[in-house]
Structure 1
Amino acid sequence: MMEEAELCFPHLLNVSCKKYKRPHSETMLVYIVLSISSLTVVLNVLVIISISHFRQLHTPTNLLLLSLAVSDFLVGLLVMPFQILLTEPCWFLGDLVCVLFNFLPFITLYASVVNMVLISVDRYVAICDPLHYPTRITLNRVQICVVLCWIYCVLYTFLLLYDNLIQPGRYNSCYGECVIYVIVAVDLVLSFIIPVSTIIILYVRVFVVAVSQARAMRSHIAAVTLQCSGTVTVKKSEMKAARNLGVVVAVFLMCYCPSYCFPLSGYDVTIGSSTTILMFFLLLFNSCLNPVIYAFLYPWFRKSVKLIVTLEILQPNSCMINVL
C-alpha cells in the first residue's frame, strides 16, 4: 500500500512514475516566484499602454521595447501560472498537452532574445552611424522586423519541438512524466551562441564609440559653438539611451545565460529537477525586471504611469500630452 501511494498512477504498477515529496523550502520558492506573475502582468501592461497611447513615444527604439513588453506580458499572464503544473511531481494532463504547454515558453523566450538583438542593432546604428540612423531605422522597417521576429520564433519553436509533437511522450521514461527533448547542438547555436555573441559584439562596439565620443566632446567642449550645440545634445541623448538599454541587455544576459551555461552537455525540460526549475524561473523573472528598470531609468515611463493611474489618458487628445 505504501508503494502504491507513492506512484503517480497506482493502477499502473510497472510503468508509473513515482511520487516524491518536494522540500518545503523549494516549494515555497516555486510559489513565491509564481506569485510574481501578477506583478509582471501589471507592470508590462503599463509599458504597453504607455508606448501605444502617447504619440511622442512612437519611435523605432520604443517599438522594440513594446515588442519586448508584449513578450514579458505573455510570460506573466500565461507562462508563469502554468509552470505550477510542470513543477508538480506528477504530470496528469497527457503527453500531447505536455508538448503544447511548452510551446509558449519557447516562443516568448526566443522572442525576447531576438528583440534584444534588434535593440542592440538599433543602438549600434544610432551610435556608430548617427547620420544615417533616421533613414536606415524607420518606424515602418522596425514594424516589419518585429512582425518577422514573432513569425520566426513561432516557426523555430514548431521545428524545434516537431519531433515531440509527432510522437508525444516518446522520451518519457514512465507514465506521469513530462519530458521535452530538443536537439541540443542546434538550439545551443541558434538560440544562444549566435544571438548572445551578436548582442555582446554590438554593444562592445557601441560603448567603445560612445566612450571615444565622450572624450572628444570633453576635450573640445570649450570650442563648441551655439550652432553645433544641438548636435552635441543629440549625441548625448543617444549615448544615454544606449547606456539605459545596455542595462536592460545586461540584466537579460544575466538571467538568460545560466539556463544554457549550466547544462551545456544537453538538457531535458523535466519536472522534478530543482536545477531546471531554478534556472527557468530566473529566466522568467527577467520579464518582471524589465519594467522596473524602465521605472528607474526612463522619466517618460514614470510620467506615463502617473497619467495612466490618474486616468488622465481617458481625456480627449491625451495621446498628445508631452511625456518626454
Structure 2
Amino acid sequence: MMEILEEVELCFPLLNSSCKKPMRTPFEFILSYIILSSITLLTTTLNLLIIISISHFKQLYTPSNLLLLSLAVSDFFVGLLMVFQIILIDGCWFLGDLMCTLYYLLDYTITSASIGTMVLISIDRYVAICDPLHYSTKVTQKRVQVCVFLCWFFSIIFQILILKDNLKQPGRYNSCSGECVVVSDYIAGLVDLVVSFIGPVTVIIVLYMKVFVVAVSQARAMRSHIAAVTLQGSVKVTAKKSEMKAARTLGVVVVVFLICLCPYFCVAYTGDNLLNASSDAFVMCLFYFNSCLNPLIYALFYPWFRKCLKLVITLQILQPGSSETNIL
C-alpha cells in the first residue's frame, strides 16, 4: 500500500529520478483549475475583442490606440500562456525540457514587451499633456509603429541572450524529471533586472508624476477661466479634458500593472535567482491576472470600447462598410 502511495506522489512513477508531486487536497486542485481556467478564458476573450476593435474600426487608427493594441496583443498571449500554468497545477512538467525553455522564453519576451509598451504609453501621455502643441508632429502613426516593432524585436533578442545557456542545453538545471527550471548567471540576472524592471518602472513613475503635476495645473487653469472662454476656446478646453481623461485612464492601467508586476520581479530576483514554475505559480498568476484587468479598465473608462464590444458581439462588424462606423 505504501508503494502505491509513493508512486502516486511521483510525476513519473517508473523513474527513480522523478520529481515528487506537491501534496494538495482534491478541493485545492479543483479550485486552482477553475480559477486558472476562468482567468485564461476571460483574458483571451476580452483582449481578442480589443484587438478586433482597434484593427477593424478606422476611427481607432490613432497612435495611442496602436499602443493599446500592442498591449492587448501581449495580454492575449499571456492568456494563452496560462494554459501552461493549468498543466502545472499538479506540480509536474510533462512537455519536455525544450518546451520548458521555450515556455520561459515566450513568457519573458511577453513580459518585456508589455513593460516596453507601458513605457511607450507613458511617453505618449507625457507628450500629449506636457507638449500638446507638438503632439501631432512628434507622435505620428509611423513613429509609433516603428517603436512598437523595436519594442517586440529587442524583447525577443534580449531574452534569447539572457536564456542562451538554457537554450543550448534545455533542462540542464533540472534536479529531477518533471521539473521546469531556468537559471541565469548573476551578471545576466542583474542586467535583466535593470533593463526589464528598474529602468522602465523608474521612467514610467517619473513621467506620470510630471503628467499628474501638469494635468492638475491645467485643470485649475480651466476652472478659473471656464466662464470667459470663447466657442473656440471651449473646443480647446474639451480637447484638453479628453487628453487628461485618457491620461487618467492609462494612469490607472499603469498603476495596476505595477502592483501586479512588482511581486513577480521580487520573487524572480531573490535568493539564487532561480525560478521554479510550480513554486512561483502564485506571483506569475498575479502578473497574468493584470492582463485580464486591462480590458475591464478600458470597458469602465472608454465609451468607444463598450460600443465596439456591442458591434463585435452582435456580429455587425461583418456588414459591408462597418469599418467606417462612427465609434467616437
Aligned to 1:109: 111
Per the TM alignment, residue 233 of structure 1 is displaced from its structure 2 partner at its CA by 1.5
> % of aligned pairs identical?
62
Kindly indicate whether the alpha-carbon contact (under 8 Å) linking 2:47 and 2:295 is maintained by their aligned counterparts in 1: yes
Could you list the per-position Cα deviations for residues 29-84 of structure 1 after superposition, in whole angstroms to 9, with x for gaps in the alignment?
A: 431123321121111111111111111111000000011111111122x2011222
Please point out which of 122, 134, 137 is paired with 2:136.
Answer: 134
Per the TM alignment, residue 119 of structure 1 is displaced from its structure 2 partner at its CA by 0.4
Kindly indicate whether the alpha-carbon contact (under 8 Å) linking 1:6 and 1:20 is maintained by their aligned counterparts in 2: yes
Q: Which moved more, 1:32-41 or 1:87-96?
A: 87-96
- Please state whether the residue corresponding to 1:180 is helix, strand or coil: strand
Aligned to 2:181: 179
CA RMSD of aligned residues (A): 1.8
TM-score, structure 1 length as denominator? 0.93
- Please state whether the residue corresponding to 2:227 is helix, strand or coil: helix
Gaps of 5+ in 1: none
Q: What letter is aligned with 1:142?
A: V
Q: Which moved more, 1:124-133 or 1:90-99?
A: 90-99
- Determine if the alignment matches structure 1 residue 288 to structure 2 residue 298: no
Kindly indicate whether the alpha-carbon contact (under 8 Å) linking 2:85 and 2:281 is maintained by their aligned counterparts in 1: no
TM-score, structure 2 length as denominator? 0.92
Kindly indicate whether the alpha-carbon contact (under 8 Å) linking 1:114 and 1:195 is maintained by their aligned counterparts in 2: yes
Please point out which of 313, 324, 327 is paired with 1:323.
Answer: 327
Aligned to 1:269: 275
After TM superposition, the structure 1 = structure 2 runs for residues 1-324 of structure 1, keeping only pairs within 5 Å, are: 1=3, 3-13=6-16, 15-24=17-26, 26-31=28-33, 32-76=35-79, 78-182=80-184, 183-262=188-267, 264-266=269-271, 267-273=273-279, 276-324=280-328
Q: What letter is aligned with 1:59?
A: T
- Please state whether the residue corresponding to 1:80 is helix, strand or coil: helix
Instruction: Write out the 4+ residue segments of structure 1 that deviate beyond 6 Å after TM superposition.
Output: none
Could you list the per-position Cα deviations for residues 289-318 of structure 1 after superposition, in whole angstroms to 9, with x for gaps in the alignment?
A: 111111111000011111112222122211
Kindly indicate whether the alpha-carbon contact (under 8 Å) linking 1:86 and 1:178 is maintained by their aligned counterparts in 2: no
Q: Which moved more, 1:264-273 or 1:223-232?
A: 264-273
The 1:146–1:271 alpha-carbon spacing in structure 2 relative to 1, beyond 3 Å, is closer
Kindly indicate whether the alpha-carbon contact (under 8 Å) linking 1:41 and 1:73 is maintained by their aligned counterparts in 2: yes
Distance 2:93 2:61 in 1: 44
Kindly indicate whether the alpha-carbon contact (under 8 Å) linking 1:68 and 1:112 is maintained by their aligned counterparts in 2: yes
Q: Which moved more, 1:2-11 or 1:139-148?
A: 2-11
Q: What letter is aligned with 1:287?
A: S
Distance 1:120 1:185 in 2: 24
Kindly indicate whether the alpha-carbon contact (under 8 Å) linking 2:256 and 2:290 is maintained by their aligned counterparts in 1: yes
- Please state whether the residue corresponding to 2:117 is helix, strand or coil: helix
Q: How many residues align?
A: 320
Kindly indicate whether the alpha-carbon contact (under 8 Å) linking 2:197 and 2:265 is maintained by their aligned counterparts in 1: yes
Distance 2:203 2:87 in 1: 35
- Please state whether the residue corresponding to 2:132 is helix, strand or coil: coil
